[in-house]
Amino acid sequence: MWRFIGRRLVQFIGILFLVSIVCFSINFITPIDTAKRALGDPMTHSLPDETILERFREEKGLNRPLHEQYLEWLGKILHGDLGESLITGEPVGEDIVYHFEKTFSLAVFAMGLTLVFAIPLGILCALRQNKFIDYIGRLLAMTAVSMPGFWVSYLLIIALALKGGILPVAGYGDGSLKYMVIPGIALSLMSFGTVMKMMRNNMVDVMKEDYMITAEAKGLHPFQIIMKHGVKNALISVITLAGMTFASMLAGSAVIEKIFAWPGIGHMILSGIENKDFPVVQACVIVVSAIYLMINFLVDILYIIINPRIRYDKEN
């Protein structure tokens, strides 16, 4: 197992390195003059003098060769300095933490919803395979997956906030749970269908396995058979799916965050892009990639741990 971990770690660093190069190149692939972008007024298109623009370029080191700029940037990142915003001049690192916290809490909430509802629903549908509940369940899952995120969000707002009257439409508010409810449900729905379906399908497969009959032959109660023998095996690949889903939630669903004015990292990236604030975009992408890769990595390890076949095979 340790060799596996070692290998994956090397992969992780390698990919991150590549990402950093791509990320850094954004600056230069797009035909925009950073100085003009930072100092100009997009509304009236008025620009300061060339001397002032040039001064800006010098200050930010924009005139030096690319690889020098890249190395300096990389060096700073490794020291934890994620750069400063072109617009406000403030350090990006703190900003990222501020925004990421909020994406994180929303993701945890949404993931919780998915797990608590999608998994039992999947089990239920498998047990009542091809009966009414199964059809309804699968229909719901498919609809949830096919509806575009913004549409689902608006529907939820109308149903729960406008008609329901208890929940707020949008915003972070005071950070209390009620502000998380609608965006959390919307975010959860985006992955709900796939998790539920996978659980259901896995359960259906598992129920056909011989060891389920063995369990019955022992005299176990059906509930015990399903939960202990069935679910445990069905859950293995669902857990890894859930892990990946969580990772993508952490990347910050930009759509959900925009609609609900949720001040998360997706929102931050969007603003950065709109404002063409490159340092922000670069830093966010690096951080999000790192987190995403990290979770990927952890999920792989988790899979090995919970699937005894692989765990002990590797050792042997």
Partner 1 sequence: MRLTAVLAAAAMLGGMLAGCGSNDSSKSGKGETGKVQQNEDIAKFIYQVTDSFDTSINYIAASWVTYGVAETLFEVDEEGNAVPLLADSMEMKDDLHWTLKLKEGIKFHDGTPFNADAVLFTFDRLAATGEIGGNFDFIVSMDKKDDYTIEITTTEAYGALKERFCEYKTAIVSPTNKFEDTLIGTGPFKFKETQKDVKNVVEKNDDYWGGDVKLAGAEFYPGEDEMTRSFQLYNNEVDFSILNIPITEYENAKTKEQLDVFTLDCDYTHIMILNTTKAPFDNKDVRHAFSYAIDREQLVNSIYGNVEGGVPSFGVVPVKYSWSNPDACTAVYDREKALELFRNAGIEDTDGDGMLEYEGAPFTVTIMTYETGLYKNAVEILQSQLKDIGVNVELEITTWDVTDQKMSDKDYDINFDSVPFLEFGSPVSLANKFGSDAYFALGAGYASEEMDLALEEGSKALEEETRKEKYDKVQEIAMEDMPFIPVFEVVKVYAMNKRLHDMDLNTYSVFKLTKDTYIQD
Partner 2 sequence: MNIMEITDLYVGFPTKDGLVKAVNTIDLIIEEGENIGILGESGSGKSVFADSILRLIKDQTVTKGTVVYRGQNLMEMDKKELRGLRGKELGMIMQNPSSSLNPSLTIGNQIGEAAAVHERINKKERNKKTLEILEKVRIKNAKQRMKEYAHQFSGGMKERAVIAMGIAQSPRFLIADEPTKGLDTLVKYKVVQLLKEVSENKTMLLITHDLDVAEQICDRIGILYLGEFVEISAVDALYRTQLHPYTEGFFKAMPKNGMLPIEGLPGSLIDLPEGCRFHPRCPKCMERCKKEHPPLYTKQDGRKVRCFLYADSE
Q: Which residues bind partner 2 (CB under 8 A)?
A: 209-211, 213-221, 228-229, 232-233, 236, 306-309, 312-313, 316
Rounded least distance, CB 214 to partner 2, Å: 5
Return the one option of partner 2, partner 1, none that residue 308 interacts with (CB less than 5 to 8 A, by type): partner 2
d(CA 277, CA 306): 43
DSSP letter assigned to residue 84 = B
Return the one option of partner 1, partner 2, none that residue 209 interacts with (CB less than 5 to 8 A, by type): partner 2
Question: Given the structure tokens 């060769």, which residue do they identify?
Answer: 65
Using CB under 8 A, pick the residue from 2, 44, 65, 210 that binds partner 1.
Answer: 44
Rounded least distance, CB 209 to partner 1, Å: 19
d(CA 92, CA 283): 7
Choose between 54 and 209: whose C-beta lies nearer to partner 2.
209
Residue 160 corresponds to which tokens in the numbers above?
A: 């729960």
Choose between 107 and 239: whose C-beta lies nearer to partner 2.
239
Choose between 186 and 231: whose C-beta lies nearer to partner 2.
231
By rule CB under 8 A, what string of x and - marks binding of each residue 201-230 to partner 1?
Answer: ----------------------x---xx--
* Beta carbons within 10 angstroms of residue 53's beta carbon: 19
Choose between 107 and 167: whose C-beta lies nearer to partner 1.
167
Taking alpha carbons only, the member of 90, 106, 79, 34 closest to residue 256 is 106
- Which residues ranging from 12 to 31 are in contact with partner 1 (CB under 8 A)? 30-31
d(CA 235, CA 241): 10
* Beta carbons within 10 angstroms of residue 132's beta carbon: 8
List, as one string, the DSSP characters of 86-103.
TTT--BHHHHHHHHHHHH
On the 0-12 / 13-18 / 19+ scale of CB atoms within 10 A, 70 is middle
By rule CB under 8 A, what string of x and - marks binding of each residue 86-125 to partner 1?
Answer: -xx-x----x--xx------------xx--x---------
HSE, side-chain direction, 13 A CA sphere, residue 270: 17
d(CA 130, CA 146): 21
- The alpha carbon dihedral of 33, 34, 36, 37 has a sign of positive
d(CA 32, CA 13): 30
d(CA 188, CA 192): 6
Return the one option of partner 1, partner 2, none that residue 17 interacts with (CB less than 5 to 8 A, by type): none
Return the one option of partner 2, partner 1, none that residue 296 interacts with (CB less than 5 to 8 A, by type): none
The reply to whether 131 sits near partner 1 by the rule CB under 8 A is: no
Return the one option of partner 2, partner 1, none that residue 78 interacts with (CB less than 5 to 8 A, by type): none
Choose between 197 and 229: whose C-beta lies nearer to partner 2.
229
Non-local (6+) Cβ contacts of 142 within 8 A are 193
Residue 93 CA: distances (Å) to CA of 25, 72, 269: 20, 16, 13
Return the one option of partner 1, partner 2, none that residue 229 interacts with (CB less than 5 to 8 A, by type): partner 2
Rounded least distance, CB 132 to partner 2, Å: 17
By rule CB under 8 A, what string of x and - marks binding of each residue 138-177 to partner 1?
Answer: ------------x---x--xx--xx---xxxxxxxx--xx
Q: Interface residues with partner 1 (CB under 8 A)?
A: 30-32, 37, 39-49, 52, 85, 87-88, 90, 95, 98-99, 112-113, 116, 150, 154, 157-158, 161-162, 166-173, 176-178, 180-181, 223, 227-228, 258-261, 263, 267-268, 276
